[in-house]
Chain A
Amino acid sequence: MEFDPVLLARLQFAFTIIFHIIFPSFTIGLSAYIATLGVLWLRSGEERFQLLMRFWVKIFAVSFAMGVVSGIVLSYQFGTNWSRFSVATGNVLGPLLGYEVLTAFFLEATFLGILLFGFDKVPRWLYVLSAAVVAIGTMISAFWILAANSWMQTPAGHEWKDGIAYPLDWLRIIFNPSFPYRFAHMLNAAYLTTAFVVIAVGARFLIGERNIAEGRTMLRMGIGLAAVLAPLQLVIGDQHGLNTLKHQPIKVAAMEAHWEGSKPADFHIFAWPDEKAGTNRYELSIPKGASLILMHKMNGLFPGLLSVAAKDRPPVATVFFAFRIMLAVGFFMIAAALLGAFFWWRGSLFDTRWYLRVMAHTWWIGFVAVIAGWVVTESGRQPWIVYGVMRTADATSPVPGATIAGTLALFILAYGVVFSFGIYYMNWLIAKGPDLGPDAVKSGSEPGGVSPIASTKDAGQGIV
């Protein structure tokens, strides 16, 4: 069997980065939530804020650890899998990543130590300050990495000489045309994702009739935030789309499965893009809908996929369907958040059982939207690794396909184990709840009861 190194390198990177992005999307939002709880605790002195804060810190610790270790992998994969890309773009992208390490990673990692272990050792204000610093660190990290990613989408502020990028203007490199939109969109997505996790946990507590006060607090805070951020995300997304149309029109054409630029574009609720024939099958469309959204007029024209050669088109079906998934989740979030706000206003939020039940099960929904969104923007950039300049196929390392296939299998295996246990433990921490009294610890301290490794519980005597 012949292994295609380019395809395998892409698969491996797609797998490791999708796995990674799950955790930052949660920890960016959660650290901000924890810091908010900390400030509320300092100002009001109310115990429930402190309980909630420390409850979420435990979950944060598990999630953050997974984010850190999967992130370290990525920082080395640029070299292991994409060495020719590293040579070509190192002058420009290298410093952005370097600044991420210096301004964000050390900050997060160091103050996390205080947040996890310092509660009894440091004064309250320093504890809460550490939470805030971690939250700011995650934001700074997002800033740099999204600047780097956006430069790959809309490169600016550099010149190419002999296939290598040389920086001309750092401000233009960092604040490249798509960066502000992508940064706002992703940051908002992270907060929104976390808001839905917090809502779900709050709803779960209320349904289970335990930790009622904390559950209500979480539900109110989550819905209050989501009711603002979910509609806001629609506005930011719209602006981001217009920006993409300006700089990467073929990506937008793939998002809408829009083939012929000479006609106004329909919005396809469903379609099956036929990439060979260059058309769609089984279309269910709103006539001229996409033109209205993107050009803000019914008969607006924008380039179709057929305007470029087939080898310059992204994988249409992937981009098209991922975009639809993101949209569907986005509209669900707006509806759910506004409905929740409506019940809150009516005073029936905590008693509308069906609503709580639905919300308790939708903790994962933001993650789906985040991953789908990233698939849209990254697959939509193909076949380019640096848009319009360097092809992905020209960016790989001189490593045989079989080697990449072997390590891909290792990654899938290892991350599969890590992810399963991680989710399991986080779920257990949530089930245990924020009550840290002696009774709760006693009744909740048996995660091993259903754990596959429970049988080794007492085998703690020397593992060699």
Chain B
Amino acid sequence: MEWYLPLIWAGVIGTAVAMYVIMDGFDLGIGILFPFARSETERDQMMRSIAPFWDGNETWLVLGGAGLFVAFPRAYAVIMPAFYLPVIVMLLALVFRGIAFEFRTVSHSKSGWSWAFVAGSTLAAFAQGVILGGMIQGIKVENGAYAGGPYDWATPFGLLCGLAMIAGYGLLGATWLVMKTEGAIAVRARGQSKACLIAVLVFMAAVSLWTPLAEPRIAERWFSLPNFYYLWPVPAVTALVAFGCWYWIEKERDAPPFLAAIALFMLGFLGLVISNFPYLVPPSLTVWDTAAAPSSQIFMLVGTLLLLPFVLGYIVLVYWLFRGKVREGESYH
């Protein structure tokens, strides 16, 4: 039990993080693409395509944070102080983009809050990338507590990951627009999808080369035998999915590019898990080192297994109710 539980919880939190990255990813992506719209009317239409969902999407971030606190309090207590500044910046950025949804409609000077939406979305994505990059590079831990300085996260690799995240969310956002809007926006979004896809592939390649070169443990994980025999399909499938994404954009299909973008994210996520498992706080603390008391994990697990199907059920309901494309000229309330 003491061995299984942390693994199950790692799976639950991995799922929450993946859900967050995909779902808030596409709506943060809308903010990242906001500057390229031609008018506030177009921006209304873009915002309308995510307005009923964004709040629920962001809740996965709370589940990820709370889940880490529930299941791995010692990891939570190391990661948060280690990324103190990027976390606070991300939260403040999310504050501005969250209220921009409401304030922008109420205010008749929309462009001011459009800016807040752009800045908040982009900065939040960047900060999340920086945090991810810092996690991959490793956190200095002594006696179970964070032992580094306030700017340890500010490395070239961290900044690279920040930019990668912006490109990635941009891809999710652009393919979402292809699927969910009509008219000029959808046409433009096809071009944006391609640009973002190229950027994402470049960043994925950069991270895939950089990490094994910089971190021997990651090189060993991927390139030692027999691991390599099992793991080579991951990059191969990634290439295939990327090709598919491009192909479907070219063919002017609606949903497949978005689904391919999601698959691309999942493959990247899988790659990171393969690189770092079983470390939750690389390179020192594993899922077992940081796990909460078994009774706490069980108590919460029972609730999660009972409640999550309902949560997913009504999330599906809302996506179904607001199915279909948002037409030109459709605005917020």
Chain B residue nearest to A418 in the complex (CB): B99
Interface size, A (range): 35 or more
B39–A94 CB distance below 8 A:
no
User: A75-83, A335-343, A348-356: which one contacts chain B?
Assistant: A75-83
User: B105-113, B232-240, B272-280: which one contacts chain A?
Assistant: B105-113
A457–B80 CB distance below 8 A:
no
CB distance from A442 to the nearest CB of B (A): 13
With a cutoff of 8 Å between Cβ atoms, the chain A residues found around residue B110 in the complex are 460
Q: Interface size of B by Cβ–Cβ distance < 8 Å?
A: 80
With a cutoff of 8 Å between Cβ atoms, the chain B residues found around residue A331 in the complex are none
B108–A445 CB distance below 8 A:
yes
Which of A80, A99, A112 lies in contact with B80, CB distance below 8 A?
Answer: A80
Which of B40, B78, B295, B311 lies in contact with A83, CB distance below 8 A?
Answer: B78
CB distance from B311 to the nearest CB of A (A): 5
B318–A83 CB distance below 8 A:
no
With a cutoff of 8 Å between Cβ atoms, the chain A residues found around residue B317 in the complex are 110
Distance in angstroms between the alpha carbons of A1 and B53 in the assembled complex: 46
What 1/0 mask marks residues of chain A from 293 to 323 whose CB sits below 8 Å from any chain B CB? 0000000000000000000000000000000
With a cutoff of 8 Å between Cβ atoms, the chain A residues found around residue B108 in the complex are 445-448, 451, 454, 457
With a cutoff of 8 Å between Cβ atoms, the chain B residues found around residue A68 in the complex are 55, 58, 98
With a cutoff of 8 Å between Cβ atoms, the chain B residues found around residue A113 in the complex are 51-53, 55-56, 318, 322
At the interface, yes or no: A40 with Cβ under 8 Å from chain B?
no
Known contacts A116-B51, A414-B95, A462-B37; A456/B111 CB under 8 A: yes
At the interface, yes or no: B88 with Cβ under 8 Å from chain A?
yes
Distance in angstroms between the alpha carbons of A110 and B315 in the assembled complex: 6
B99–A414 CB distance below 8 A:
no
Main secondary structure of the interface of B (DSSP, over half): helix
Known contacts A62-B102, A83-B81, A90-B70; A463/B114 CB under 8 A: yes
What 1/0 mask marks residues of chain B from 72 to 94 whose CB sits below 8 Å from any chain A CB? 01101111110011011001101
Which of B61, B95, B106 lies in contact with A425, CB distance below 8 A?
Answer: B106
CB distance from B23 to the nearest CB of A (A): 11
B95–A69 CB distance below 8 A:
yes
Known contacts A72-B58, A80-B87, A114-B318; A98/B292 CB under 8 A: no
Distance in angstroms between the alpha carbons of A105 and B60 in the assembled complex: 9
CB distance from B17 to the nearest CB of A (A): 14
Which of A70, A94, A410, A456 lies in contact with B109, CB distance below 8 A?
Answer: A456
With a cutoff of 8 Å between Cβ atoms, the chain A residues found around residue B109 in the complex are 448, 451, 453-457
Which of B56, B85, B99, B293 lies in contact with A91, CB distance below 8 A?
Answer: B293
At the interface, yes or no: B333 with Cβ under 8 Å from chain A?
yes
Which of B55, B84, B107, B300 lies in contact with A94, CB distance below 8 A?
Answer: B300
User: B142-150, B170-178, B179-187, B211-219: which one contacts chain A?
Assistant: B142-150
User: A196-204, A256-264, A398-406: which one contacts chain B?
Assistant: A398-406
Q: List 7 A-B contacts (CB under 8 A).
A: A75-B66, A94-B69, A447-B106, A451-B108, A457-B108, A462-B39, A463-B34
Counting from the closest, the 3 A-B pairs by CB-CB distance are A90-B73, A79-B80, A460-B40
9 more A-B contacts (CB under 8 A) besides A69-B99, A105-B62?
A: A75-B65, A79-B68, A94-B70, A166-B295, A399-B81, A418-B96, A445-B108, A446-B108, A462-B35
Question: Which residues on B are within 8 Å of A, measured CB to CB?
Answer: 34-41, 51-53, 55-56, 58-59, 61-63, 65-71, 73-74, 76-81, 84-85, 87-88, 91-92, 94-96, 98-99, 101-103, 106-112, 114-115, 118, 144-147, 150, 292-293, 295-296, 299-300, 303-304, 307-308, 311, 314-315, 317-318, 321-322, 333
